[in-house]
Structures are given as C-alpha cells and as structure tokens.
Structure 1
Amino acid sequence: MTEPFISIRNMTKTFGPASDPVYAVNDVSFDIPKGSITGLVGESGSGKSTLGRSLLRLIEPTSGSTVFDGCDLNSLKAGDLRAMRRRMQMVFQDPVSSLNPRLSVEAIIAEGLVAHGIGSRRTRRDKVASLLEEVGLSADHMRRYPHEFSGGQRQRIGIARALALEPEFIVADESVSALDVSIQAQVLNLLLDLRERRNLTMLFIAHDLSVVDYLCDQVAVMYLGRLMEIGPAADIHERPRHPYTLALNSAIPMPRPGAARNREVLKGDIPSPMSPPSGCVFRTRCAHAREICAAGIPSPVAVSAGHYSHCKRIEAIGEN
C-alpha cells in the first residue's frame, strides 16, 4: 500500500493558558492522497481554518504531526521550513484583505518569487503574465491594483499568487464563500482544471456540502474541533452515517422549492469551545443522542471502504 502524500496525525491546537486550554482543533487525524482534493466542512467555529493553518504551520500546532511527502513538517527548523513552503501554498478566504492594496498585481504575484530569490526581474514578469493567463485574466492586468478588480478577479489573483512557486499542495480556505454563485462555479472549475494540469493536491475548506460534493474526491466533516466523519465524497453525500453529516446534507438547498424531503434540523448553536460537552461533542444537538454518547470520545469506525464515522452508537452496537 502506497504511503499517503499528506498524513495528519493527532493534530491539536489550543489557545489560552496551558492550565485551562481552549481546543480549536482536538486530536484530528486523516490522510490526503496525492493528486486528490479533500474537502473539510463544518459550521463556523468548527476549527476548519485553524486546522488548515496549523497544517502549513502558519500557526504553530500544539501537538500532533503533519507528514508531507515523507517529511514531518513539525520537526523542521525555520530554514528548512522556508524551503518547504515552495511546495505548499494557501489561497485565503477574503479576496480583498488577502491582497495588499498598495502593491500592483505584478508585485503581489511575484512576491514569493522575490522572497525565494527565483529568477530575474524580466523572467519574473514573464512568469506573472503566464500565471494571469492561466487563471483567466490578462497579462495587461499586472499593472493594476486590487481595488480595480471584482471579487472573483481578486480571487483569481490570489490563486495565481499561490501558483507562482509551483507548489504541489494548496490549502484553499473558504476560497469561494465570498463570491456570487455564478462566480463560485467559475472558480471551482478553475481549481479542477489546475488540479488536472499541474497534478495538484488540495485541501478545500468550506461550509457548503454541495460545493465539496462537486469539487472533492474525499470529504472530512468537523464539529467543535473534532472529526465527525470522513469518506469518499459520494458516500458522504449519498450515504452519510453521522447525525451531524446528515444535518449538513439536509441543509443543502433543493433545486425544486417545495419538494418533499426529510430534514435533520439542528437545534441551538454550536457550544463554546471553552466548555465543550463531555463525550461526543455533538451530543447536545443530536436528535439521536443516548446516555452512551456522554461516556467517552467516539472512536473512528469503518462503515465502508475508506469511510469512517466517529459515532458512539455505531461504535457500540452498529446502528445507522
């Protein structure tokens, strides 16, 4: 069996004092195969973005490991990590605040090339022109500034910046959530094209299961810092086994308003990470919760090939 391209093991990120930590990400483990797109979904506050940033060490994880193509990122010193950053990049959520308004598009996209001492000024300019064409913009745009572009165009600039160093892995953090639906589709298709042309591996963070079902090969579902379910995208969409995934699926808008459907409506809000529920952290909002759900942290249970659910009922007595 081949080793996964990216292996995340027991990833934990806490904030606050060690004596009273707040868990933003709590003991999360999963693999990302090479050339695939893995979706990471969940409500706001579930820890998705923190996991993505911890994976790349944009923020330092508290514990756990990320093995990238055989290299443990958490063990790297500053110099080695800087060199490794050429192989992994990030596309940020907000296409406005993620671009420096004082820099031209050329300077924004070439910033990584300059930082790593790659190429001459002329070759960098040619590279920027090529990247702009690749993401659906024009080479003439390089002299403009971010405020002169629409939200979708800004996000394309952000994608071009991420591609400048020829990375093998990209974390896209809610990269279409701020865009209109029609523009979302264009950006999603661009990401699919880039995956095919460049053999990219991606972690795509989102809160919309319909988007990840279209884009991703594998989907991981998070809630309050913990992994609830992970499996092939088709299984997560058509045969979810965790009650939280069922609720997320049932919230997807239907193309035919008024069509009959079974809804799993969640009550209340996501609990504060400062005082999470005992046992299964989802149990306080779960319509199927039982006494056993408070007894301990659920272990991952294989429900089909590559499909795991973290549910006490499945773990204990094999219920759906």
Structure 2
Amino acid sequence: MERLSDAPDFDTRLRRARQAPLRRARTTTLQVNLGLRCNLACHHCHVESGPKRTEALDAHGVDRLLVLLEQSPDVHTLDLTGGAPEMHLDFRRLVSGARTLGRRVIDRCNLTILHEPGQEDTATFLAEQGVDVVASLPCYSLENVEAQRGRGVFDGSVRALQALNALGYGHGALKLDLVYNPVGPSLPPPQATLEADYREALLREFGIVFDALLTITNMPIKRFAHALAREGRDQEYMDLLIANFNAETVSGLMCRHQLSVDHRGRLYDCDFNQALALDIPGATRTIFDIECLGELDGHEIATARHCFGCTAGAGSSCGGAIS
C-alpha cells in the first residue's frame, strides 16, 4: 500500500493510468451553492455550513443564473445545494424560473429543514414544481445518523420522508433519492447491497419508500479532515483512498460534466474544489464573465489530493457510485 508520504499526487496517478490531463467534457449540470446557512452543522460537512453562517448568493446572482440557463441549452439540470438551499430568500424564484425553462431541478435536502418555521409548505412547493429531492440520510438507524448529524435529526428525517411519500415522492412520479456517506474513515459499501438494506429497513420500520440510494465518499477536507486530524487518522484515511484508486471511475467523474457556482457567483470544477477555493486553471471566472455555461467545455480541471476521494473503490459523485 502506498502511503500519503510517498504516494504520487493525483495528476501523476492520472498520467500513469494514461488519463491525464483531466479535462471538462460537455457541461450538462449546473450545481449552485446558494449559501452556507443551514439549520444543522454536520460533522462531515465539507462547506462547514451551520445556523450562524450568513453567506448567500444575492438576487443579482440569481437573475444571472436564470439568464445563463436560458442561454445554455446543453445544461439540462440545475442542482441546488448549500447549506440548506431552501433557506435562501430566492430559492423558490430560482426553482420556478428553472422549471419554466424546462430544466430538471434537484433540491439537496437535509430533510429536517422541512420542519423549520417558515418551511411548512416547502415540501408541497417542491412537489408542485416537480423538483427531484436528494435527501441526506447517512444510515437507517438512529444511532449512526445522530452521531453524524446531531440529536433529534433521525426522527425529523423520518417524519420528513413520510411527508414526502404522502405527496407522491418515491412512488414513481416524483423522484426521491437518499444519500449515504460513512460515519467514519472508510469507503462506502457496495451501493446496490446497501440500497437493498435501506429499502427493507425503512419500509419495515416506517413505511418509507424511495427511488435510489446514492453512496458518497467523505472528502478529506474541512470538517471531516479536522475530525480525522484530531483522532490521528488523517494519514490512514488518505492512504486508504490512494490505495483504492480506480482508473475506471475517471471517465464518470462529476467534474467532467458539472459546473459549480458558489455564493459569490464564482465558478469551480466541482463542489469540493469550491470548498477549497481551488480555481479553474487559467482563469478566475464568475457567472458574470461568461455568456454560456458551455464556454468552459474542454478546459483542464483543477485537481489535488482530495480527488482521490472521488476515484477510490467504486468511485463517488453527487450521483452516487460511479462504477
């Protein structure tokens, strides 16, 4: 096993696999971090969001996103994240605007937000707009969920899922996917096997149904990296990611087809690069510097050690396992 101290960097590993340089393909998804405010402060959060964060994309930025979507016909999906994106003042305006343009909209929902004051009709709004919900549920047991996300989160998540099911989510017409990420420094188990376990447990215990389970590897950055360092397990985890590099995942990396926007309107290759302020090579661009989201197609992608997290084992992306 190669150790962090003597292992090659990510670009070197790509060259060995004859897959360098890593370049953007056709952009089909625009992922927007609307802001860092959230009702939770999860241990694994790579953008370090929480209730006290105030950073948010302004109304001018929201207007610009809608213009760019209209001018970028290849981009068929708007993927909204945060923080809790539903807490953004222009969340509903952006969602309805994108749906009017015929775009698929994904809401990356922490579930408990649906019980917060002022959010009582959010689930109904999502259903009426035909928004796909990708909901974080790192386990189907109370102990594991609350170890990662805090006390009371599991019960709130279950009630939110039941409410979404009652609106038609998970029954075919409205899409409801769940997201799993490991509680500790390990790779996710096989996605199909874990999905079967989730289905059986959630249906048996709570009558909950869903469309798919997406397994996502924890990135060794920000809060999760700090926790690993406190436990003295940061090198162990990086060694694990590097040792399990899988060249077959590279073609499916989300950075090749997705463009990420932060709360300032700055553009990045992915949400993780955004968290690290790792700019797109060759230029520092914002949504106000381009006329079409496809302008960056073919550009080289910025990489660093954390990229081993997306290529370890079965791979990891915002859409779950890659291979």
TM-score (norm 1): 0.32
- The structure with the greater share of residues assigned to strand is 1
Larger Rg: 1
Q: Which has the higher contact order (CA 8 A, sep 6+)?
A: 2
